[in-house]
Amino acid sequence: MTRTSLAAVRPTRREFLQAAGSVTTMALTIGFEWLGPSRRAAAAGASPAVFAPNAFLRIGADGSVTVIAKHVEMGQGAYTGIATVLAEELDADWAHVRVESAPANVKLYANSAFGMQGTGGSSAMANSWSQLREAGAKGRAMLLTAAAKDWKVPVTELTTEKGVVFHAGSKRKAGYGSLTAKAAALPVPDKVTLKDPKDFKLIGRHVPRVDVPAKVDGTAVFTLDVALPGMLVALLKRPPLFGATVKSFDPTAASAVPGVVKVVQVPHGVAVVARSFWAAKQGRDALVVDWDDTHAEKRSSSEMMNEYRHLAEQPALSARKVGDAVPAIKNAAHTVSASYEFPYLAHAPMEPLDAVVKLTATSCEIWAGDQFQTVDQANAAKTAGLDPQHVSINTLYAGGSFGRRANVGSDYIVEAVSIAKAYGADGTPIKLQWTREDDIHGGLYRPMYFHKLEAGLNEKKELIAWRHVIVGQSIMAGGPFEVMVKNGIDPTSVEGAATIAYEIPNIDVELSTTRSAVPVLWWRVVGSSHTTFAVEAFIDEVAHAAGKDPFAFRRDLLGHEPRMKAVLELAADKAGWSAPLPKGKGRGIAVGEAFNTYVAQVAEVTVDDAGRVTVDRVVCAVDCGIPINPDVIAAQMEGGIGFGLGAVLYGAITLKNGRVEQDNFNNYRVLRINEMPKVEVHIVPSAEAPTGVGEPGVAPIGPAVANAIFAATGTRVHLLPFPKSSKA
């Protein structure tokens, strides 16, 4: 299929802007002031010699280069990539580059992919490519002009390298720091010429991450580490069932715990505010709350899945239609069918959710690993009864997120603001701390889904028809992003399925959207976290039915998709696809596209006589356009593979009569070091504009392993997570 048809089921940027607009209208209309060079310098309390030609760059008189990042650093390497792109055009000395997080300011720092400030959709590098190269190039042009004026030489005779301007003719040189005062007095040029990629010195090279040293010696500051004078710690007791509310509570026992300061009711539950985490925890354990579960979800997830199976046989809405798949399958010479079941998944970032709020009658200051600044600012303002301009956000390092910290209700931020408000809004800083149990029980899961697939082959065993029915909850429905749901189709429910890349003359993709009080959310790689599994596991079954090699079968259906075909071929080649394996071992392949990045993976597994699976090796090929930082790209593929593998081996949130059955890492298992395969990453050279790598590596690993298990054992995987017998 073509990019045009991909676009047909993808929300356009315009729709993103509409969606964003409905939550950010207030934020957009409050009139943020542009902090020009002098204002910015003054605001930062720096010397007037600080040179700040735009909102993304500040150069100090000491030559230090500060890049202001509008994306949160949650592990994906955004700070390093952002700084690299800007420093490249600035010709900065990497050793003197530091990164600072941007304040919440949608006018200056909107994500160009969705029109508001936030991080997601693996968008940081695509966002930065033109914006930050230009920001760096303009800064460099002004420094050059300042030197040319000073030395009375033509600007064309000047060169730059590692933060120094050179004039070869007169053998003069000047560090950027010595030129800041003069550069700051110059007008910002309207246009600037960007480097020819052949001249790149940082992009495409091994540039060390800016955040690594502080993350190795314990000095990196996360929200957990914020300690303000007089700060209190709050733990919130939330309802045991989704959709339940507080009927009544008795604070007596909680208040009697030494260190507990106050017990307050908020819309989400009852909070215990104390002088320490330990006191708050003991207070919450002692707190007695009576819940009203009239409107709560009381079903078990097994009942919900039964309903999904039934719905898969009922008429559904069309998400993609090419030709007419139903009669084509009915009349086909050979047919194949299978269904796949996917559980709810928790994100479980290593840092349990936390936020610090300092609320007064006129202002609200927030500290968080904030992923959705414009939305969080608007929601915090609404909760506090303030204008968004009076809500400031300090974005800190996030201890992982995988999507969890970006949600339209700003759950953890709103809880913290609500508690600070109920406490008295007297300026006392309050840190809301979630425990791991709060996180696992806390909802906003990757939705549970049921997928039913059917295929038809002709007499020559060529694939002629494909029908794919998806049943599950919508991530976008019922909130400000509802506008993205078109004709009943939430694009995040069907991406990767409706966008199937294989050339098939009859395609029918249908969606049946279910409802539940269980809140759901995007989870690393969003729709492709389940659709790529279904498509890639099923195409493998179809290849087998056609009597074809699974790699060759895919390749032959991708003639019109050169980038996807290229990663598939590269992965197969590097993996030694056709080399024989001993008995008990198997090799599986899968390919996918997410956020315009193409990834193929070949997994090699060993299955012992007891059915235990060990994933020995994964070979990964990725095409993300121009590789900005090959080592970060490799790291994101390695990590994405480990994250995705943990999910397919173990990940499941299940409900029993509405109550979540998992609590902590003992029964919500994730991958550990002894289960991590050897991973080899190969990056396709490219001249295309860069695309993201934080998420796309997650999608193919599940089906690659499932297909390898089939190759080793002849048994297909249809239930996620893999059945216990197939676990290591």
Partner 1 sequence: MSTSFVLNGASTTLDADPAMPLLWAIREVSGLHGTKFGCGMALCGACTLHVDGEAVRSCVMPLSSVAGKQVTTIEGLQSKAAKAVQAAWIQLQVPQCGYCQSGQVMSATALLEKNTAPTDADIDGAMSGNICRCATYSRIRAAIHAAAQSIKA
> Contact positions toward partner 1, by CB under 8 A?
74-77, 208-209, 211-222, 224-225, 227, 258, 276-278, 348-352, 397-402, 433, 435-437, 631, 635-636, 638-643, 645-646, 664-666, 670-674, 676, 678-679
Q: Which CB, 342 or 643, lies closer to partner 1?
A: 643
To the nearest whole angstrom, how small is the minimum distance from the Cβ of residue 397 to partner 1? Answer: 7
Is 437 buried (19+), middle (13-18) or exposed (0-12) by CB count in 10 A? middle
To the nearest whole angstrom, how small is the minimum distance from the Cβ of residue 164 to partner 1? Answer: 26
- For residues 160 and 171, what is the distance between their CA atoms, to the nearest angstrom? 13
**Packing angle between helix 78-90 and helix 124-151, nearest 10 degrees?**
30
To the nearest whole angstrom, how small is the minimum distance from the Cβ of residue 227 to partner 1? Answer: 7
To the nearest whole angstrom, how small is the minimum distance from the Cβ of residue 673 to partner 1? Answer: 4
Q: Which CB, 656 or 672, lies closer to partner 1?
A: 672
Q: Which CB, 4 or 666, lies closer to partner 1?
A: 666
- For residues 259 and 252, what is the distance between their CA atoms, to the nearest angstrom? 14
Q: Which CB, 401 or 499, lies closer to partner 1?
A: 401
Q: Which CB, 172 or 617, lies closer to partner 1?
A: 617
Q: Which helix (H) or strand (E) holds 279?
A: helix 277-286
- Give the count of beta carbons closer than 10 Å to the beta carbon of residue 320: 22
The greatest distance separating any two alpha carbons of the chain, rounded to the nearest whole angstrom, comes to 83
- Residues across the chain: 728
To the nearest whole angstrom, how small is the minimum distance from the Cβ of residue 662 to partner 1? Answer: 12
To the nearest whole angstrom, how small is the minimum distance from the Cβ of residue 590 to partner 1? Answer: 18
**Encoded tokens for 687:** 């001249």
Q: Which CB, 362 or 664, lies closer to partner 1?
A: 664
- For residues 440 and 435, what is the distance between their CA atoms, to the nearest angstrom? 9
Q: Which CB, 113 or 396, lies closer to partner 1?
A: 396
**Encoded tokens for 682:** 């190969």
To the nearest whole angstrom, how small is the minimum distance from the Cβ of residue 40 to partner 1? Answer: 29
To the nearest whole angstrom, how small is the minimum distance from the Cβ of residue 638 to partner 1? Answer: 5
**Encoded tokens for 160:** 């730059």
CB hemisphere CA count around 654 (13 angstroms): 16
Is the N-terminal amide bond of 721 cis, ω within 30° of 0? yes
Q: Which CB, 382 or 617, lies closer to partner 1?
A: 617
**Encoded tokens for 108:** 């200056």
Q: Which CB, 381 or 653, lies closer to partner 1?
A: 653
SS3 6: helix
Angle at 34 between CA 28 and CA 35, to 5 degrees: 135
**Packing angle between helix 701-713 and helix 630-650, nearest 10 degrees?**
60
- For residues 122 and 145, what is the distance between their CA atoms, to the nearest angstrom? 36
Q: Which CB, 176 or 397, lies closer to partner 1?
A: 397
- For residues 162 and 475, what is the distance between their CA atoms, to the nearest angstrom? 46
To the nearest whole angstrom, how small is the minimum distance from the Cβ of residue 674 to partner 1? Answer: 4
- For residues 607 and 513, what is the distance between their CA atoms, to the nearest angstrom? 37
Angle at 701 between CA 527 and CA 534, to 5 degrees: 50
To the nearest whole angstrom, how small is the minimum distance from the Cβ of residue 134 to partner 1? Answer: 28
Side chain identity at residue 563, one-letter code: R
To the nearest whole angstrom, how small is the minimum distance from the Cβ of residue 439 to partner 1? Answer: 9
List helix spans (H) across 502-616.
528-545, 550-556, 562-575
Q: Which helix (H) or strand (E) holds 424?
A: none
Q: What is the DSSP letter of 472?
A: E
Rounded to the nearest angstrom, the gap between the alpha carbon of residue 591 and the centroid of all alpha carbons in its chain is 19
- For residues 633 and 626, what is the distance between their CA atoms, to the nearest angstrom? 11
Q: 624 with 690: CB under 8 angstroms?
A: yes
Q: Which CB, 349 or 480, lies closer to partner 1?
A: 349
Q: Which CB, 635 or 711, lies closer to partner 1?
A: 635
The alpha-carbon radius of gyration of the chain (Å, integer) is 27
To the nearest whole angstrom, how small is the minimum distance from the Cβ of residue 525 to partner 1? Answer: 14
To the nearest whole angstrom, how small is the minimum distance from the Cβ of residue 353 to partner 1? Answer: 12
Q: Which CB, 614 or 713, lies closer to partner 1?
A: 614
